[in-house]
Amino acid sequence: MNEKNWDELTMRIDDMYTIDKSDKFTEELPDNPKFKRTVERIEFEKDNQKYRIDNIESPAILDKKTIYHHRGPADHVEYIYDTEQTSKKVEFYRQLPDGYWNEISPEQMLTD
Tell the burial category of 51 from Cβ atoms under 10 Å away from its Cβ (0-12, 13-18, 19+).
buried
Please provide residue 47's backbone torsions phi and psi, each rounded to the nearest 5 degrees: 55, 45
Helix, strand, coil tally for the chain in percent (to 5): 20, 65, 20
Q: How many domains does the chain have?
A: 1
**What confidence tens digit (pLDDT) does each residue in 39-72 have?**
999 999 998 999 999 999 999 999 998 888 777 7
Global pTM reads: 0.85
**What confidence tens digit (pLDDT) does each residue in 63-96 have?**
998 888 777 776 788 899 999 999 999 999 999 9
**What confidence tens digit (pLDDT) does each residue in 13-32 have?**
999 999 999 999 999 998 88
What range does the domain containing 76 cover?
Answer: 3-111
Q: 55, 6 in Cβ contact below 8 A?
A: yes
